[in-house]
């Protein structure tokens, strides 16, 4: 890239400054960040397990009863709540829903705790307002994705950074509306309060906050909705919940599953929104709730709490060894990670599968937040990441050999080598996630071949790449994609790799298992198993195709394990 | 010793008060000062003293600085310069905390738009001042209920302000101010937002109240009639400066300068000496439609003892007194049978010609045009007033 500088100023090292600042923060405040990470994680786990402890039917009935008791004259909302929640449960998204509720709840509560006082300060002091206002604009317009990066640097992966990013993104309306609400209190009321000798504090509590209540609640509502919208983004760094389903659907271009998970979010958003509006009454029109409504609310809440408690006391927690497998949402890795996870589960492990972006995955392995990944493509594809983290992770060696990566075209195209490419496919290579190792290789390839000058590499996701391929294939159009095997697309379409005379894609690739530095000492048995884990390209492709044909990854993995008992048992000897 | 003593009190809004102050001393106009310095003179060099137990009215057009002045008295606005004494104690140099206790104990304020808190019931509004002081709940409730009872609003105590009429809301505002039992009541155009009828009632109530409680009341208004009706002393302001302080009589008879003269004259134009300049709208009863009961109802509603009878084309018929109407009702007569004669004049009749007619008449004089349509009536007081004014300044050609 060449930029034409109008004025001859050398490029400011802005990126270096920001990175330097963040890494300085990370090193100097690591204790503080860890405390937040652990405390936050503990709180979130408590909330989630409390929500999960409540039996699903009881929760649905309870929420419907609440909806019924809090709305007057209308049956629409309670019926919607009941049907919506039943649909979510029916689609098997209940635990995802509870995780999402936890995340939204936490982000909203923290935003409220930070936002209201900040809004009050802004309203009371024009100087503060002048400073905070541009910061809020900055926070609100900066794409939510950007917050994920420092969030990972500070807190690693999981739900805490998700909450952190959501808070930064969702906080502004809370602050703004609080400020606005307090400033909008009519001046003669403020004068009246002053003329009776109210202190600033009395004025705030007795006049300003009650009068600003509606505006503040409107802000809270916006904050909740923004936190909800961040759920999907936050799932890229391992925040569990409905967002994960949406993200995974995007990466696999799976319309159905994306819609269902999205619908779950919509139902949740509407329910939260309607409940929030119930608290928004104007002064002087307080219609006191009828006693039976009040009793219904009390009873419903008590029933939910009691049900949760009873359930939590009677069900024993599984106390298997915990292991956290990180993976990227590529079809190959979905297959291998699920097979490994399923086999570990059958041997009594408590397995967590965390889908992450590739770069984040390596970083999480390096700081011991993820125990293992079976998706390191070496020596070429993930070369850059391996160089960066090789001292902080343990490489256990290949789990699958005979891997190939390269540029792939449909076999009806006449080109056979990368050096033959001229103007095909609009001079575009259709790629995958920008952070993927293969994309770095493809960039290198563009530079290495003179005939590719003027070509560009467009990034999307693995799923979108396959969709684009399918569409072009159907219409017999030119397309060049970044491909790799094992992949089910080679079973479904007639494709070919382009020859790579300059060997930029490397010749022999393997998929490797990498584990965190601490695993050997903390769980030697698992370390042994992971060291032995291996299978073949055909094994993997069979699982991939099953998943592609509509089986759930878990089911496909279990079926494969049943058929290959001998091989699987060999990992555990 | 006066209750309130004000010395050289000045307030300048904006960023460069010193420069503005200099310009005020050179007698520059407000606009010029704003242009040059970007500062606005709120009030300048106010000196006056207010005695215990009097109603002191501060008058002026909008922008004259009267609202600023009243807020300087309880320091809702901080003065730029000058001193203010209450009971001999200087309060312009008190700390914020000491000022709070002055506001809690000594002064209460009533606002033009009532300033009631919409999220609190009347009772909660009324007890607000005591609540702020930390008075125990039972005690403050009792005092607030007493104040509401005095304002005849006790039965509404659990209602919210937006459920009441303006007059009721202002009674609550007054009750709230009185619950604190302050020495000084500051009233900032308290009755300006009310309709004229309610306004008159409230003025009467305030006078009754003053007869009972003997507070020092500082009352702001832009309405000369209101000022004359309730004020013991009146101060007239213009562009932040005091023009004249005196009793109503002094201000009317000895206006200190041209501004006061025109200000007083503006309120009541009686310089054009024809009938239509002093007539007032007539109270009528259409006798081709109305019966005695309706006519009586109109009289009692307007608190008069007679109405002008007209026909359905609004043409003048005669005078209908209350006694005649009562007898008509008793004897079941139509109204037309009890209408009596009434002197009439044309709209352009000169006052000097109306004088003899009005002396002899038992009723007001009707003003009718050439088509025999009723235009208004003239009552005795208006003529006398017009005459008194013309004798004072016959060379005035306003």
Q: Do A188 and B160 touch (CB under 8 A)?
A: no
DSSP states along A422-435: SSGGGGEEE---TT
Average pLDDT over residues B65-73: 91
Q: Do B118 and A283 touch (CB under 8 A)?
A: yes
pLDDT for B57 beyond 90 = yes
Give the mean pLDDT of chain A.
Answer: 86
| Shortest CA gap B17–chain A (Å) | 21
- The neighbour count for residue A400, using CB atoms within 10 Å, is 23
E strand or H helix at B242, and its extent?
Answer: strand B241-246
Q: Is A271 on the interface with B (CB under 8 A)?
A: no
- Residues from chain A that touch B112, judged by Cβ atoms under 8 A, are 188
pLDDT for B269 beyond 60 = no
Q: Do B111 and A194 touch (CB under 8 A)?
A: no
Q: Is A205 on the interface with B (CB under 8 A)?
A: no
| Shortest CA gap B278–chain A (Å) | 39
DSSP states along A118-138: HHHHHHH-HHHHHHHHHHHHH
CB A211 within 8 A of CB A148: no
Q: Do B163 and A207 touch (CB under 8 A)?
A: no
Q: Do B186 and A195 touch (CB under 8 A)?
A: yes
| Minimum-distance CB partner of A196 among B112, B120, B129 | B129
At residue B268 the predicted structure's pLDDT band, cuts being 50, 70 and 90, is very low
Average pLDDT over residues B58-84: 90
At residue A130 the predicted structure's pLDDT band, cuts being 50, 70 and 90, is very high
| Shortest CA gap B107–chain A (Å) | 8
The C-alpha atoms of residue A540 and residue B210 are separated, in whole angstroms, by: 97
The predicted-structure confidence for B151-203, as pLDDT tens digits, reads as follows 888 999 999 999 899 889 999 999 999 998 899 999 999 998 888 888 888 89
Residue in A186, A193, A197, A288 to test binding to B, most B beta-carbons within 10 Å:
A197
The predicted-structure confidence for A194-251, as pLDDT tens digits, reads as follows 999 999 999 999 999 999 988 999 999 999 989 888 888 888 888 888 888 888 888 7
Number of helices (H), then strands (E), in chain A: 25, 9
Distances (CA, A) of B180 to A412, B50, B76, B378: 94, 21, 18, 47
- Residues from chain A that touch B100, judged by Cβ atoms under 8 A, are 197, 199
- Residues from chain B that touch A188, judged by Cβ atoms under 8 A, are 111-113, 115
Q: Is A454 on the interface with B (CB under 8 A)?
A: no
pLDDT for B244 beyond 90 = no
The predicted-structure confidence for A254-276, as pLDDT tens digits, reads as follows 888 889 999 999 999 999 888 88
Q: Do A284 and B76 touch (CB under 8 A)?
A: no
Identify the closest residue of chain A to B102 by CA–CA distance: A197
The C-alpha atoms of residue A255 and residue A463 are separated, in whole angstroms, by: 10
Q: Do A206 and B128 touch (CB under 8 A)?
A: yes
**Is residue B134 classed exposed, middle or buried when 0-12, 13-18 and 19+ CB atoms within 10 A define those classes?**
exposed
Among candidate residues A109, A95, A100, A49, the one with its CA nearest the CA of residue A231 = A100
pTM above 0.85, yes or no: no
Listed in sequence order, the residues at least 6 apart from B239 whose beta carbon sits closer than 8 Å to its beta carbon are B29, B30, B41, B63, B64, B65
Q: Is A195 on the interface with B (CB under 8 A)?
A: yes
Q: Do A197 and B101 touch (CB under 8 A)?
A: yes
pLDDT for A541 beyond 60 = yes
The C-alpha atoms of residue A224 and residue A447 are separated, in whole angstroms, by: 46
- Residues from chain A that touch B111, judged by Cβ atoms under 8 A, are 188, 191-192
The predicted-structure confidence for B324-374, as pLDDT tens digits, reads as follows 888 888 888 888 888 888 888 888 777 767 777 877 777 888 888 888 888
Pairing of strands A480-485, A428-430: parallel
- Residues from chain A that touch B119, judged by Cβ atoms under 8 A, are 210-211, 213, 283-284
Residue A481 corresponds to which tokens in the numbers above?
């994609």
- Residues from chain A that touch B131, judged by Cβ atoms under 8 A, are 206
Q: Do A188 and B128 touch (CB under 8 A)?
A: no
In the prediction, which pLDDT does B378 show?
84
Q: Is A281 on the interface with B (CB under 8 A)?
A: no
Identify the closest residue of chain B to A209 by CA–CA distance: B119
DSSP states along A7-48: S--PPP-HHHHHHHHHHHHHHHTHHHHHHHHHHHHHHHHHHH
| Shortest CA gap A193–chain B (Å) | 8
Residue B103 corresponds to which tokens in the numbers above?
């506001």
Q: Do B118 and A211 touch (CB under 8 A)?
A: yes
| Shortest CA gap B94–chain A (Å) | 14
Lowest mean pLDDT among A152-156, A275-279, A335-339: A275-279
In the prediction, which pLDDT does A203 show?
93
Pairs of residues, one from chain A and one from chain B, whose beta carbons lie less than 8 Å apart:
71
- Residues from chain B that touch A198, judged by Cβ atoms under 8 A, are 132
Q: Do A192 and B115 touch (CB under 8 A)?
A: yes
Pairing of strands B55-59, B216-221: parallel
Give the mean pLDDT of chain B.
Answer: 85
Residue in B94, B99, B119 to test binding to A, most A beta-carbons within 10 Å:
B119
The predicted-structure confidence for A131-184, as pLDDT tens digits, reads as follows 999 999 998 888 888 888 888 888 888 788 888 888 998 999 999 999 999 999
Cα B293 versus chain centre, distance: 34
Among candidate residues A311, A174, A328, the one with its CA nearest the CA of residue A251 = A328
Residues of B near A (Cβ–Cβ under 8 Å) read 71, 74, 76, 99-104, 107-109, 111-113, 115-120, 128-129, 131-133, 160-163, 180, 186
Q: Do A284 and B113 touch (CB under 8 A)?
A: no
At residue B390 the predicted structure's pLDDT band, cuts being 50, 70 and 90, is low
Return left, alpha or beta for A177; rule: phi > 0 is left, psi -120 to 50 is alpha, else beta.
alpha
Identify the closest residue of chain A to B179 by CA–CA distance: A196
Q: What DSSP designation does A237 have? A: G
| Shortest CA gap B147–chain A (Å) | 16
Identify the closest residue of chain B to A212 by CA–CA distance: B119
| Minimum-distance CB partner of A207 among B104, B117, B160 | B117
Average pLDDT over residues B217-234: 90
Q: Do B128 and A284 touch (CB under 8 A)?
A: no
């Amino acid at each position: 890239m060449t930029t034409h500088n109008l004025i001859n100023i050398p490029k400011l090292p802005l990126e270096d400054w920001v990175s330097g600042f963040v890494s300085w923060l990370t090193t100097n405040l690591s204790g503080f960040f860890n405390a937040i990470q652990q405390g936050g994680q503990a709180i979130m786990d408590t909330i989630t397990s409390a929500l999960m402890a409540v039996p699903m039917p009881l929760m649905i009935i309870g929420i419907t009863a609440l909806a019924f008791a809090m709305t007057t004259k209308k049956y629409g909302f309670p019926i919607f709540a009941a049907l919506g929640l039943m649909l979510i449960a029916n689609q098997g998204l209940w635990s995802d829903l509870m995780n999402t509720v936890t995340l939204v709840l936490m982000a909203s509560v923290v935003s409220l705790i930070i936002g209201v006082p900040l809004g009050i300060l802004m309203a009371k002091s024009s100087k503060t307002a002048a400073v905070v206002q541009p910061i809020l604009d900055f926070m609100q317009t900066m794409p939510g994705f950007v917050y994920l990066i420092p969030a990972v640097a500070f807190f690693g992966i999981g739900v805490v950074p998700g909450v952190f990013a959501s808070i930064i993104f969702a906080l502004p309306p809370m602050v703004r509306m609080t400020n606005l609400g307090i400033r909008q209190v009519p001046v003669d009321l403020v004068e009246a309060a002053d003329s009776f000798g109210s202190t600033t504090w009395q004025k705030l509590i007795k006049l300003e906050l009650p009068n600003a209540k509606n505006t503040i609640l409107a802000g809270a509502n916006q904050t909740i909705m923004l936190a909800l919208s961040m759920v999907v983004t936050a799932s890229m760094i391992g925040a569990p919940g409905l967002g994960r389903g949406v993200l995974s659907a995007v990466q696999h271009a799976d319309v159905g599953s994306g819609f269902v998970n999205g619908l779950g979010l919509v139902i949740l958003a509407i329910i939260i929104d309607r409940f929030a509006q119930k608290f928004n009454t104007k002064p002087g029109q307080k219609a006191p709730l009828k006693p039976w409504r009040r009793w219904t609310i009390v009873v419903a809440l008590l029933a939910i709490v009691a049900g949760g408690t009873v359930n939590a006391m009677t069900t024993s927690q599984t106390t298997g060894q915990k292991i956290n497998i990180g993976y990227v949402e590529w079809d190959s890795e979905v297959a291998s990670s699920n097979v490994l996870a399923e086999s570990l589960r059958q041997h009594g492990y408590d397995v967590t599968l965390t889908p992450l972006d590739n770069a984040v995955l390596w970083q999480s392995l390096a700081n011991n937040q993820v125990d293992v990944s079976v998706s390191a493509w070496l020596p070429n594809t993930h070369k850059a990441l391996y160089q960066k983290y090789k001292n902080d992770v343990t490489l256990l060696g290949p789990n699958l050999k005979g891997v190939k990566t390269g540029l792939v075209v449909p076999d009806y195209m006449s080109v056979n080598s990368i050096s033959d490419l001229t103007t095909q496919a609009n001079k575009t290579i259709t790629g995958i996630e920008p952070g993927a190792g293969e994309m770095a290789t493809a960039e290198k390839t563009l530079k290495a071949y003179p005939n590719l000058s003027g070509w560009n590499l467009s990034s999307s996701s693995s799923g979108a790449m396959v969709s684009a391929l399918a569409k072009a294939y159907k219409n017999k159009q030119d397309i060049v994609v970044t491909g790799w095997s094992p992949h089910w697309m080679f079973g479904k379409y007639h494709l070919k790799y382009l020859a790579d005379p300059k060997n930029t894609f490397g010749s022999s690739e393997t998929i490797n298992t990498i584990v965190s530095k601490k695993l050997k000492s903390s769980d030697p048995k698992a370390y042994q198993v992971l060291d032995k884990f291996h299978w073949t390209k055909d094994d993997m492709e069979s699982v991939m195709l099953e998943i592609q044909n509509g089986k759930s990854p878990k089911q496909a993995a279990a079926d494969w394990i049943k058929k290959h008992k001998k091989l699987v048992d060999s990992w555990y000897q | 010793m006066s209750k309130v003593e004000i010395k050289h009190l000045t307030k300048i809004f904006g960023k460069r008060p010193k420069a503005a102050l200099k310009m005020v001393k050179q007698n520059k106009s407000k606009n010029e000062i704003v242009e040059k310095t970007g500062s606005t003179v709120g009030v300048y060099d106010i000196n006056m003293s207010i005695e215990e137990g009097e109603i002191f009215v501060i008058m002026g057009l909008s922008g004259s600085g009267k609202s600023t002045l009243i807020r300087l008295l309880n320091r809702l606005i901080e003065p730029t310069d000058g001193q203010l004494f209450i009971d001999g104690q200087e309060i312009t140099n008190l700390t914020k905390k000491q000022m709070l206790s002055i506001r809690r104990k000594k002064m209460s304020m009533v606002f033009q738009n009532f300033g009631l808190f919409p999220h609190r019931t009347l009772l909660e509004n009324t007890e607000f001042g005591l609540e702020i002081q930390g008075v125990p709940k039972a005690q403050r409730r009792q005092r607030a209920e007493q104040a509401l009872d005095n304002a005849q609003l006790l039965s509404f105590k659990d209602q919210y302000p937006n459920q009441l009429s303006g007059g009721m809301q202002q009674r609550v505002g007054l009750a709230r101010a009185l619950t604190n039992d302050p020495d000084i009541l500051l009233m900032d155009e308290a009755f300006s937002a009310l309709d004229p009828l309610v306004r008159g009632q409230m003025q009467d109530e305030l006078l009754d109240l003053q007869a009972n409680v003997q507070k020092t009341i500082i009352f702001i208004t832009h309405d000369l009639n209101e000022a004359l009706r309730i004020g013991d002393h009146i101060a007239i302001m213009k562009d932040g400066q005091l023009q004249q302080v005196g009793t109503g009589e002094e201000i009317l008879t000895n206006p200190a300068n041209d501004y006061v003269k025109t200000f007083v004259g503006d309120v009541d134009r009686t310089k054009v000496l024809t009938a239509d300049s002093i007539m007032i709208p007539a109270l009528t009863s259409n006798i081709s439609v109305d019966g005695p009961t309706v006519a009586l109802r109109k009289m009692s509603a307007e608190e008069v003892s007679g109405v002008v009878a007209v026909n359905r084309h609004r043409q003048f018929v005669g005078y209908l007194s209350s006694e005649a109407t009562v007898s008509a009702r008793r004897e079941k007569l139509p109204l037309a049978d009890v209408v009596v004669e009434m002197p009439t004049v044309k709209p352009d009749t000169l006052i000097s010609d109306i004088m003899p007619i009005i002396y002899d008449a038992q009723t007001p004089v009707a003003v009718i045009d050439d088509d025999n349509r009723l235009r208004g009536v003239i009552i005795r007081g208006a003529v006398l007033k017009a005459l008194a004014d013309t004798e004072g300044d016959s060379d005035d050609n306003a």
